[in-house]
Structure 1
Amino acid sequence: MSGEQLEVHVRENGRVVATIQRPLRELDGKPAITYRKQLWLLSGNSIEIGGTAAAPVPPPAPQQLPADAEEAFEREILVRSQPPPPLPPEIEDIGANAPTWQDDPVAEPPDARLIVDAGPGTGKTHAACARVAAMVGNGIPASRICLVSFTRTAVVEIRNRIARALEEPGDAASVRIITLDAFAWAVHSGFMKEAALTGSYEDNINAALQLLREDQDVRDDLARMEHLIVDEAQDIVGPRADLILAMVDGLNPDSGITVFADRAQAIYAFAEGEDDSNGTNLLDALAARGFRQMQLTEVHRTADPNLLAIFTGLRRDLLSGRKVNIEKHVKSEIRRLAHADAGEVANLKLDTLPDDALVLMRNRLDVLIASSHAGLLPHRLRLSGMPICVRSWVAQMFWDHSQRRISRDDFEKRWHERDIQAPFDCAEAWSRCVEVAGDSVYVVDLHALRKVLARTNPPMQFCTPEFGTAGPILGTIHASKGREAPTVYLYLQETAVADETGEESRVMFVGATRPRERLLVGTAGAHCGTKVNGRVWRRTGSSIQVEVGRPHDIEPSGLVGRSFFARQEDALATQAAWANQPRRLRLMLRAESTVGWHFTINDGEQRLGGLSERFGADIGKIAWHLNKSISWLAYGRSIGLRTMVVAPDSPHLESMLEPWKSSGFFYAPLLTSFSPTKPKSR
């Protein structure tokens, strides 16, 4: 079937010169794959490149990275691995700005087992990408390399960097670059018929761990891996650490492993509210298995002397364990070395900040309050537990396309007729669709595209890195780990938090090491909040404020379903309203009897949608806690537009109106607010 990933031997004059993984294509009705920008006909599981290719493949436009990732790549040219054999020219041409290390993990043999200690800005991601590129250049099939990353955004950046370093950029798609939770679900769902997402990430991790320990088929599949790279290992704790160790123990003894970590940035030990202090210490367990220790020491992120003092000197203080009151010391040093005082967070004015600024706070509540005060000023949110934002161009292209497939000619015609606005051109958009759902380089299977984009974690090349599309980024320190920016505004809590573990000190250190040029430090408010199923709310006198905009607050029926819209014309008008005015303030969320007391979204003139049963249940729990009733929330807000996608086999389809029931694509608002309400006595 076209689009299926195959492992293919590349032969030259009858001799196998490489093993690659490619999606199956078609050429004149015959199976083919792409290699070196050409289409080659398959013979069994091989292609022969000694002669002439079957057909050229039109080159896609260069892929656009997020601005910060693009800048980071331009600053860090991938480094040279050891000869012989010769590496691709992209790696050999290292240039004058290539980073240097006290140790060089890139030059280590593929079967080495390493723990690489890497402080912030020392080129950890850079080294991981260069190590992958060097191994592929030295003959290890890209499909036999797995890189476990901490965040989905990092997955995209890593894959793009690897692609730029390879002689055949398409090989980057074959490297398995995945988050640990996604890996666990792939194991869980792939080897258990009764697999189901329960809503608990821990259940998913534990199920995969049990399979790795007990199922020989799982272990046989894992044993095919020739090299495993683990990023941010200092934050892998509890069952996740046990899962990594099970992966390590399941590999062949001659398989290599490279683990990158920085104990000074370990800030997730208690993130789940559980004491993991007696659990598995991953780095100690790996050291006990004979892993060799290496270091990256030179900071490349910044040349500013104040920031270098934080990156290096303050890191030494954190790791030494000799400071009596480490939290007070870290906070004092960060304030002393900052370039300016950012003042109180209540006085933050987003319209005075550059678009590439990063604004960091300790907790979710502070970010929600600051975002609410910003109103419709352009800004982006970087928080855990936010909906995935598939870019709006996808819905603009396909919302009324009811056929299963679309040709390249029809795609280009729609793109230009509809004046699609995207961060890239039509050729690049087509290339991205072909990459994940192409029947061939000329036809895309939209059912396959829907299946991919409807996943909990769709490919990031279709998504925005943050919740929002423009303006400064507001986020928590935890969610922004791995992010960097020219200018960072860091708001610290005024009152000390009782912390015997040192985690608060490490959190502050992580926040202070995000800037490349300037650090401004301010003071956050002493806000107190409560959570229901991850949803933040707080009391404010006789009123309360509730977070709106969690991942499941809006479902398909709430935007194009019969539950909230009696006629197709009503849903069409609502979709047009969101498309024409995606940024909206003062939306009213109201429980209405006509829709079974579900909450609706209204702008005073028309119904713009409805909220899910989950949302109503959370509001009900808050009301029960207060022993009151809640029937409305004010000042709802949308800060932009995204695409919502429904898979061809989704049960949501039964409640949806046409044409969206057939197409599976429609608009959804970027709904986010900290909405007030006055609960009433029962």
Structure 2
Amino acid sequence: MPDVNVTVKKGGRIIDQIQRPVRETASGQAVTYRRQLWPLSNNSIDLDGHPIEFDKAGRSLRQANHVDPPPPSKVITVPSLGTSPLSIASELLEEFVDDGQAELLSAPSAARILVDAPPGTGKTHAACQRVAALIREGANPNRIWIVSFTRTAVFEVRNRIASALESAEAASVRIATLDSHAWSMQSGFSADAVLTGSHDKSIDDTLRLFRDNPEVADYLQRLEHLVIDEGQDIVGARAALTLAFIDAVGPDCGVTVFADEAQAIYAFSEEDSEGSSSSTLLEQLRSKGFNSLKLNHVYRTQSPKLRSIFVDTRKHVLDRSLTVKQRSELVREDIIRLADASVGPIAELKLADLAADSLVLMRRRADVLERSAWNAGVLHRLRMSGLPPCPRPWLAAIFCDCREQFISRVAFEALWDSRIVDTIARNSPSKQVAWKLLVEVGGQDAETIDMNRVREVIGRTNPPILFCSPDFGDEGPILSTIHASKGREAAKVYLYLPPTGETFEESDEETRVMFVGATRAREMLAVGESNNQYATSTLSQRVWRRARKGKVQLEVGRRNDILASGLVGRSAFPNQSAAMKAQLYWLENPVCNGLRAKKEESLQWHFSILDDENERLGVLDQSFDDDLREIAQALGTWRTPYVLPHLRSIGIRSIVLRPDDPVLEDLYEPWRSSGFLFAPLLTGFTSGKFG
């Protein structure tokens, strides 16, 4: 039979409108909805009724009724969390070894739960299954919000929910970071909303909206469930905003908060805006009567030694009967004793000896930069905050000279076949997947994309992670700070602890940082010792430190160090031919050593990036010069370096500019019209003479 329009009802109200083919059953006409078959009456289905079931032989259909209920094992009740648990099939619960996960999965939809989620206990999986279960029970996906800690986590959660539902409903769930949720509220309810780039201001502005605009509260009353991830790291104004969200939703809106106090590695800030409290978010949730639930089973590793770190060492981290120093020493001793290997001082680290999927963790950014510089001849990746976003280079390869607003699938595929060379294809999606991604963000229809819409989305300050590399670089072991690898894991982890004897009396954070680093490992943990060289940073967080012979080591390659105007701009190159030559260099030499930055009079003494033949490849931004002057002032001088050697590129990325970006006016064609260009993954811990 042809498809019919079907109204979906629950609780006496319409929750969805769908199109489905009608099926004839022993109980009459029926349609499928959320993997179940429902009786159809007057082109409507009622989720308060009962779905139709197949018999065991699968030959006939009957409607379930109260006379023939499922066996007791089919439903898990949660007396402590209310009297109306979700009815979850036992086959969905069998995958959970942990009773806590099963209890969470079947908890009432309106329950407010604080989930203690130690590392490796399947928190993300349980959260996604919880959301999927709510949707299967009739919750409107549009009215489920998930607040995730990082954009990478947002991507993972969305994929897992889509996999759990095997339908398009996952796309309707609002999954975003707290900052993204805040901006969404501002742009939707405030005519004065301006995206300034300051996350703290955005949070403060949203808090004011909650106080001043009653429509915000009315809107949030529509939510059916709110999931909050990494609750232990939501502090200051963000904690105040999270509490405002919770207070604003209706009494029937469930709230599930995942947290692990042993992994709280972002210290509480007292200087945040009004509304902050001296008590933590978790303490305030407990005072609001949130039910407690704990995940107990460690899924991440099968190693007895690593399990002991995950479980037993965690107890030392949280043991308030010990002093800060005692906790720090016990945790360090546990990690060293239970590690699979000792790898000595960080100076002996050789990336060439490590597997490509290894994760090397260090406490300090300067240590990561220094080890990266010492291993410049070995392919590796970086993972730290403050690095540029890395849209994949296939975007620039395809669209660098595109001046049309609309591109057909046929034209795109022809460009792909002619331009995607091996070096780019190695880390690109397939042609079919790439087209699908473009249609998702800028599709006129399945066969045409609007390039203005594509540029609007990918040209954001934080582009969709589907188009980006998760790390800075595409191949080899990952060098990372512990903070930047929060929530990530690897089969083999090399953890470099602070030098023996270093204690941190002022807070517990360093103890928790060690614990977080050790619990990234799935199969093998090796422990070494970092050096005791400290570094400082500029206001923009550029790392620098004094070196020998009066020189200073400093970081090159931060987010705004090299921008579109410095790569194909009129202010950076004398003509279009010179800019094109530089672009071709990056395309043909994505990984290259021997670069240096040098002040040039013709550039008003800005730094140009030169290769070993003195060819200009780009120009560093004014913000880089500003940081050097800040360092000089701290050193009591006014002179900044003339040449900065030992720079390199560890790959290439795309820069995508929105159609209204004022920077376009400074660019040569075709980039002025297209808005797509190549940029190097520039990095270095260079040294220069100040004064």
| TM-score normalised to structure 1 length | 0.86
Aligned to 2:126: 127
Pairing of 1:156-305 with structure 2 (within 5 A): 156-168=155-167, 170-270=168-268, 279-305=278-304
For residues 81 and 362 of structure 1, do their structure 2 counterparts lie closer, same or farther at Cα, with a shift above 3 Å needed? Answer: farther
Cα deviation, residue 390, structure 1:
0.5
Q: Are 1:493 and 2:491 matched, yes or no?
A: no
Deviation larger for 97-106 or 364-373: 97-106
Query: Does structure 2 retain, via aligned residues, the 8 Å contact 1:241–1:280?
Result: no
Aligned to 2:396: 395
Cα deviation, residue 193, structure 1:
3.8
Q: Are 1:530 and 2:532 matched, yes or no?
A: no
Q: Distance in 1 between matches of 2:416 and 2:405?
A: 18
Q: Are 1:463 and 2:473 matched, yes or no?
A: no
Aligned to 1:677: 688
Q: Distance in 2 between matches of 1:207 and 1:497?
A: 39
Q: Are 1:434 and 2:445 matched, yes or no?
A: no
Query: Does structure 1 retain, via aligned residues, the 8 Å contact 2:565–2:572?
Result: yes
- Indicate the SS of the match to 1:629: coil
Letter in 1 for 2:332: K
Letter in 2 for 1:202: D
Deviation larger for 496-505 or 610-619: 496-505
For residues 164 and 15 of structure 1, do their structure 2 counterparts lie closer, same or farther at Cα, with a shift above 3 Å needed? Answer: closer
For residues 167 and 583 of structure 1, do their structure 2 counterparts lie closer, same or farther at Cα, with a shift above 3 Å needed? Answer: closer
Query: Does structure 1 retain, via aligned residues, the 8 Å contact 2:608–2:619?
Result: yes
Query: Does structure 2 retain, via aligned residues, the 8 Å contact 1:21–1:143?
Result: no
- Indicate the SS of the match to 1:246: helix
- Indicate the SS of the match to 1:257: strand
Letter in 2 for 1:593: E
For residues 649 and 81 of structure 1, do their structure 2 counterparts lie closer, same or farther at Cα, with a shift above 3 Å needed? Answer: farther
- Percentage of identical aligned residues: 46
- Indicate the SS of the match to 2:436: helix
- Indicate the SS of the match to 1:439: strand
Q: For the aligned residues, what is the CA RMSD?
A: 2.7
Q: Distance in 1 between matches of 2:497 and 2:473?
A: 24
Q: Are 1:664 and 2:669 matched, yes or no?
A: no
For residues 673 and 286 of structure 1, do their structure 2 counterparts lie closer, same or farther at Cα, with a shift above 3 Å needed? Answer: same
Pairing of 1:261-660 with structure 2 (within 5 A): 261-270=259-268, 279-324=278-323, 325-419=326-420, 421=425, 422-494=427-499, 495-532=501-538, 533-541=540-548, 542-605=550-613, 606-626=615-635, 627-630=637-640, 631-660=642-671
Q: What are the superposed Cα offsets for residues 415-445 of structure 1, whole Å, 9 maximum, x if unpaired?
A: 1122351442111111111111111111111
Q: What are the superposed Cα offsets for residues 579-629 of structure 1, whole Å, 9 maximum, x if unpaired?
A: 000112121111212122221111133100111111111112112222041
For residues 277 and 450 of structure 1, do their structure 2 counterparts lie closer, same or farther at Cα, with a shift above 3 Å needed? Answer: closer
Letter in 2 for 1:395: A
Q: Distance in 2 between matches of 1:13 and 1:352?
A: 61
Q: What are the superposed Cα offsets for residues 301-325 of structure 1, whole Å, 9 maximum, x if unpaired?
A: 0111101111001112222322341
Query: Does structure 2 retain, via aligned residues, the 8 Å contact 1:376–1:583?
Result: no
Q: Distance in 2 between matches of 1:306 and 1:534?
A: 37
For residues 582 and 112 of structure 1, do their structure 2 counterparts lie closer, same or farther at Cα, with a shift above 3 Å needed? Answer: same
Q: Distance in 1 between matches of 2:600 and 2:657?
A: 26
Query: Does structure 1 retain, via aligned residues, the 8 Å contact 2:394–2:428?
Result: no
For residues 295 and 572 of structure 1, do their structure 2 counterparts lie closer, same or farther at Cα, with a shift above 3 Å needed? Answer: same
Cα deviation, residue 673, structure 1:
0.8
Q: Distance in 2 between matches of 1:307 and 1:568?
A: 57
Cα deviation, residue 16, structure 1:
5.6
Q: Distance in 2 between matches of 1:223 and 1:95?
A: 31
Q: Distance in 2 between matches of 1:11 and 1:528?
A: 69
Query: Does structure 1 retain, via aligned residues, the 8 Å contact 2:654–2:678?
Result: yes
Query: Does structure 2 retain, via aligned residues, the 8 Å contact 1:242–1:280?
Result: no
Q: Distance in 2 between matches of 1:14 and 1:245?
A: 36
Query: Does structure 2 retain, via aligned residues, the 8 Å contact 1:21–1:142?
Result: no
- Indicate the SS of the match to 2:631: helix
Cα deviation, residue 565, structure 1:
1.4
For residues 579 and 21 of structure 1, do their structure 2 counterparts lie closer, same or farther at Cα, with a shift above 3 Å needed? Answer: farther
Between the two proteins, the alignment pairs up a number of residues equal to 616
Greater relative contact order: 1 or 2 (C-alpha under 8 angstroms, separation 6 or more)?
1
Letter in 1 for 2:639: S
Cα deviation, residue 19, structure 1:
5.1
Deviation larger for 564-573 or 516-525: 564-573
Q: What are the superposed Cα offsets for residues 8-45 of structure 1, whole Å, 9 maximum, x if unpaired?
A: xx9745556985699xxxxxxxxxxxx999xxxxxxxx
Letter in 1 for 2:645: A
- Indicate the SS of the match to 2:152: helix
Cα deviation, residue 100, structure 1:
2.5
Query: Does structure 2 retain, via aligned residues, the 8 Å contact 1:561–1:657?
Result: yes
Q: What are the superposed Cα offsets for residues 343-402 of structure 1, whole Å, 9 maximum, x if unpaired?
A: 111110001111111111111111111111110411111111111110111111111111
Deviation larger for 222-231 or 189-198: 189-198
For residues 649 and 508 of structure 1, do their structure 2 counterparts lie closer, same or farther at Cα, with a shift above 3 Å needed? Answer: same
Q: Distance in 2 between matches of 1:221 and 1:602?
A: 55
- Indicate the SS of the match to 2:524: strand
Q: What are the superposed Cα offsets for residues 544-591 of structure 1, whole Å, 9 maximum, x if unpaired?
A: 111011111111111111011122111111111100001121211112
Q: Distance in 2 between matches of 1:424 and 1:81?
A: 42
Cα deviation, residue 97, structure 1:
5.2
Q: Distance in 1 between matches of 2:90 and 2:381?
A: 38
Q: Distance in 1 between matches of 2:398 and 2:505?
A: 52
